Amino acid sequence: MVRAKKTLGQNFLMHARIAERIAMVSELSSSDVAFEIGPGTGMLTRELLKRAKKVIAFEADQELFEKLQTDFADDIANGRLELVHGDIRTFDIGSLPKGYAIVANIPYYLTGEIFRMFLETENQPISMTLLVQKEVAGRVAQSKKESILSLSVKAYGTPKREFVVPSGAFVPAPKVDSAVLTIRNISKKNFKTRTDEERFFAIVRAGFAHKRKFVLKNLAEAGLFSEKMRSRLEKLSISAKARAEDLPLPVWLDIAREE
């Protein structure tokens, strides 16, 4: 048995049935390349290899990397599995083949970074299927109250909370339950240019700066509120007393439009 390293956020899936269910909701087909972040002991990797054309798996832990090399020697030899050793935060996403799909049980400390890295890149995945903290999956996928996190995902794709995985399904068991989150229809269609994208995020961040204040006040304090914005909001019948969490993605996109 491998000893889990806390610093690398290691919580290993213990049941092949759960790994199979994750692979199933990812809707991988035999022509897809799956990209797995943190294969760990290979429980999910095995299921991905049953479905995808090829799996590229990226592991930071040297000890696990060496064990995977032995356990999956045949799949590596026949080219169906490419194992890479390193820290995902320094990975060149551009080196992945176009149209890859991410399927992973990621370490929790990397959740925000993985969303950012893979949604903002030019070489976006076609879909993401991630095991994340249940609370995070709920916050991203719900539609009643928005947050910087939910808007940062919805700006690029359609999130859905698929199913809950209880903490007891992992060793060691994390403090909280997890859930599988899928993000589909990933694209940059909401942004014509990188400047549009940057402006959208600057406005969202400013809008959420003080949670209890009205969004218009937050934007004004950041020097980002204009007359054009006021008339757009009026047209959309948005109350001057709306808070940032009450505004859905289309409204943010509309007020962030430059022209």
User: Is residue 43 involved in binding ligand SAM (CB under 6 A)?
Assistant: yes
> Whole-angstrom Cα distance, residue 223 to residue 245?
20
Is residue 133 within the footprint of ligand SAM (CB under 6 A)? no
Question: What CA–CA distances, in Å, run from 132 to 97, 109, 113?
Answer: 25, 10, 13
> Chain-centre distance of CA 29, in angstroms?
20
Binding to ligand SAM (CB under 6 A) within 5-34 occurs at 8-13
| Contact predicate 103/36, CB 8 Å | yes
CA dihedral 249, 251, 257, 259 (to 10 degrees): 160
Answer yes or no whether residue 125 interacts with ligand SAM by CB under 6 A.
no
State yes or no: residue 57 binds ligand SAM (CB under 6 A): no
Judged by CB under 6 A, does residue 59 bind ligand SAM? yes
Q: Based on the shown chain and the rule CB under 6 A, indicate whether residue 107 belongs to the binding site for ligand SAM.
A: yes
- Among 102-110, 114-122, 149-157, 198-206, which window interacts with ligand SAM (CB under 6 A)? 102-110
Contacts of 160 (CB under 8 A, 6+ apart): 141, 181, 182, 183, 184
CB of 10 or CB of 218, closer to ligand SAM: 10
Nearer to ligand SAM, 40 or 207 (CB): 40
Closest CB to ligand SAM among residues 91, 214 = 91
Of 43 and 56, the one with the shorter C-beta distance to ligand SAM is: 43
Give whichever of 6 and 192 is closer to ligand SAM, judged by the CB atom: 6
Q: Are 94 and 35 in contact (CB under 8 A)?
A: no
Question: Which burial class, exposed, middle or buried, applies to 76 when counting CB atoms under 10 A from its CB (0-12, 13-18, 19+)?
Answer: middle
Question: Is 44 near ligand SAM (CB under 6 A)?
Answer: yes
Which residue in the set 34, 48, 52, 61 belongs to the binding site for ligand SAM (CB under 6 A)?
Answer: 61
Burial of residue 138 (CB within 10 Å: 0-12, 13-18, 19+) is middle
Q: Which residues are near ligand SAM by CB under 6 A? A: 8-13, 37-41, 43-44, 58-61, 64, 87-89, 105, 107, 110
